[in-house]
Amino acid sequence: MNCYHYFVGFLLHVSCFHQCTCLDPFGMLYPKDSESRTVKHLDGMWDFRVDDSPNRNRGFEEKWYSKPLRQTGEVIPMPVPSSYNDITQEKKIRDFVGWAWYDRDFFLPQEWTSKRVVLRVDSAHYNAIVWVNSIKLVQHEGGHLPFEGEITRGDIPVKFGSGNRVTIAINNTLTPTTLPPGTIQYQHDINRYPEGYFVQNLQMDFFNYAGLHRHVQLYTTPKSYIEDVIIVTSLQGLNGLVKYTVVTSGQPGNVRLRVEVIDREGQVVGHSNLFQDTITVDSGHFWWPYTMNSSLPGYQYTFKINLTFLSSGVSDVYRQKFGIREVKVTDKQLLINDQPFYCHGVAKHEDSDIRGKGLDFALIAKDFNLLKWLGANCFRTSHYPYAEEIMDMADEQGIVVIDESPGVGIRKANNFGNLSLAHHLKVMDEMYRRDKNRPAVILWSVANEPDTTHDNSIYYFKTLLSHVKSIDSSRPVTFVANSDFSTDKVAQYTDIICLNHYNAWYQDCSHTELIQRQLTYDLRQWYAKYHKPIMITEYGADTIEGFHQDPSIVFTEEFQVEFMTEYHKTFDNLRQEFLVGEMVWNFADFMTAQGITRAFGNRKGIFTRQRRPKMSAHLLRSRYQGMINSCRP
């Protein structure tokens, strides 16, 4: 049997996801308590079971969503948020591929009867279907980004002042048209494999963690409500310009609106009564990155919206933090607030919202303390959007973010078709919808290390990059390349060229004496071809904590230091020309799929998974702290 004919059973209930191309990139404000809104978390222990039937379809055949999950068979407690892979001692759950099922009861207060009530899932990897009281509420394709459904829309039999049930089924299967892509491989030799045996092949170099990774929340709004706010800022001398659009449900003609810009001290520094307007903030405090010439990095204002519907007298109030800043790109520089910005930071991965322990505020705080200890001023969300709580910290701390989609591993011909492109466009819309007002986000990255050497990639990435520019002209766009300059066909459509380089590791392994020559040649050739600023978004060497030898050999801490030192010499030379940033790979060690080339995951971190520093962390701290001190007044 053809594996993809059999595979249809896996996605039978999500096949309609590919019918649309792009969604409306507006709406879905992050849930916040206010005078008119209430937020309730559904985090905690849920009932959980995997559908390990041969076709992974028993849950749908038996309608597990129609009754409490514990009545369908044996369940176990599963924390939400978390990745279910690392919670149990069961190998079959750690490595499970297919539909996993969750459910729990929840209570709706009687006083919510007059409200619009929404259930929001901050991240479910990968395909998800949600039922409330056995009725399908919403379905969504793609991990790492939020989705929601109104449970008071009329067809959901919700009960106020009483108990209700939410059921969520998640399928982590990766196909040629998902992001990231993958394949299902069936083994047909029944002498060596049981009938129907298959494996999930990954096209990315990290573990395929699955589950409800982030919060599940209920929130209320009035029946008529503020749907979205779009804020774009710029500079006019010492003043800040705040161009905004407020989007509401219903007809805006029968409402009274007041918007206010409020500074940190609580003073109103600008206001308007229009749905679209530009507010001038005189002598504004600009949002500056951590290392630039400002005593107030990460300065944010509050954008307060008060909307009153005159026919009912009902008001809705929402507050959105934002920073006043402007991003520009020349042929050699990246500018923030018209000042040259050099990104000295880290590529992060397998972050605190993805590990088995789930979204972890303690680890988020620890990581940002380590970033400040290093003197880092930026990071890339490699290779997927991070939790909103992490992005909030970046906004507040003045840490610049390259916001990257899950488009990692787009390398095979069947990854460039119309279905793949339609889904990728939808993902970028969802990223923009979520992160558009964040001052820390200065650059959209649509993909990591795609194959950009064949003709199919031209239409795919030209369409993708153009679309992102069409919905957000205030930020530059890029993808992260690892092709050779001579064969690349796509970087011409980016604003900044982002490159991953592993000289002396994946090629000419151990020969650090070649790094400066090879890296300098490659970067100069890239610049000569495209005349765009260049950023190194990955360079690194696997290093096992506690391994030492002199002279150095690969995998020792000494080699990692020697390796990075040679890269730094090249960076220092090219910073005077067209290099606008450097990011080490990686901030911390992370887990990958099992294989003979990875011993307990990827060890390129300058910190261990437990956040213990290697020798290289001290090297990088000395370098980055020196950069901070040299640019301060």
Catalytic residues: 449
Angle at 284 between CA 279 and CA 289, to 5 degrees: 115
Residue length, the chain? 633
Please tell me what DSSP assigns to residue 277: E
* Residue from 365, 366, 367 nearest 379 by CA: 367
Q: What is the 3-state secondary structure (H, E, C) of 587-627?
A: CECECCCCECCECCCECCCCECCCCCECHHHHHHHHHHHHH
- How many CB atoms lie under 10 A from the CB of residue 154? 7
> Can you tell me the distance from the alpha carbon of 119 to that of 131, in angstroms, rounded to the nearest whole number?
10
> Can you tell me the distance from the alpha carbon of 329 to that of 43, in angstroms, rounded to the nearest whole number?
42
* Residue from 202, 286, 203, 273 nearest 244 by CA: 273
The SS3 assignment for 369 reads helix
> Can you tell me the distance from the alpha carbon of 464 to that of 478, in angstroms, rounded to the nearest whole number?
10
> Can you tell me the distance from the alpha carbon of 404 to that of 498, in angstroms, rounded to the nearest whole number?
12
What is the amino acid identity at position 89?
Answer: Q
As given in the structure block, the two tokens for residue 59 are 């849950």
Residue 340: cis peptide before it, omega within 30 degrees of 0: no
> Can you tell me the distance from the alpha carbon of 613 to that of 370, in angstroms, rounded to the nearest whole number?
10
Contact 14, 127 (CB under 8 A): yes
Q: Which residues pair with 184 in a beta bridge?
A: 200
Give burial (CB, 10 Å; 0-12/13-18/19+) of 594.
exposed
Contact 212, 124 (CB under 8 A): yes
